[in-house]
Amino acid sequence: MGKKVEEGIAGVQQGRVLRGRVRTVRADGLVVIFADAESKDVACEILQVSGPPNCLARGDDVLVWRPGPGEQGVVLGRIGVDANPGDSPRLPDELLLEAKNGLTLRVGDGSITLRADGKILIKGKDLVSHAKRLNRIKGGAVSIN
């Protein structure tokens, strides 16, 4: 084997994949993990795959990749199943989606777009608004038809 290949393999072997437990989910998106008695707590990024963001909470068992001393780890995923398999998946109390210029939710022919200038566009074949109590429409001017 060439020297570069050997160095690459050695670099991979230095990293470790460990089972850990979530201590804290920080506001900046990092997760603090307790991995084992030999290691200090480590702040980790979360490996994001397609689909909704990982909903990790304190006490969750996770698989963590520790690249080496002094380097930030990566949470590869949560281990196990939800406590109540028949229930709906665990959802966060609050979810913030943030974008610099615009955010669009789209399904088929319907969409909701939020723009940085404050304009909100709702498009669809039909729009239905239901309220159990007051349904209020407020604006500097309101135009219907």
**Euclidean distance between CA atoms 134 and 143, whole angstroms:** 19
What one-letter code names the amino acid at 52?
Answer: P
Say yes or no to pLDDT of 80 above 80: no
Position 88 scores a pLDDT of 55
Phi-psi label, residue 14: left if phi above 0, alpha if psi -120 to 50, beta otherwise: alpha
Looking at the structure, tell me whether residues 72 and 108 fall in a common domain: no
65/35 same-domain check? yes
CATH of the domain at 16: 2.40.50.140
pTM of the shown model: 0.44
In a domain, 90, yes or no: no
Q: Do 7 and 63 fall within a single domain? A: yes
- Please name which of 104, 100, 60 lies closest in space to residue 83, comparing C-alpha atoms: 60
Instruction: Dihedral sign for Cα 68, 74, 77, 79, please.
Output: positive
- Asked whether residue 68 falls in the same domain as residue 121, the answer is no
Angle, alpha carbons 102-106-108 (nearest 5°): 155
Residue 32 sits in the same domain as residue 67: yes
Q: CA 134, CA 131: separation in Å to the nearest integer?
A: 6
Higher pLDDT, 90 or 68: 68
Summarize pLDDT for 23-79 with one digit per residue, the tens: 888 878 788 887 666 667 778 888 876 555 557 778 888 888 887 767 788 888 888
Same domain, 119 and 73: no
Number of structural domains in the chain? 2
68 and 102 part of one domain: no
Predicted confidence (pLDDT) per residue in 96-116, tens digit: 778 889 999 999 999 999 999
Residue 141 falls inside a structural domain: no
Q: Are residues 63 and 32 in the same domain?
A: yes
Full DSSP string of 36-56: -TTS--EEEEE---SSSPP--
Same domain for 72 and 103, yes or no, is no
Judgement on whether residues 102 and 66 belong to the same structural domain of the protein: no
> What domain range includes position 130?
97-136
| Domain match, 27 and 72 both | yes
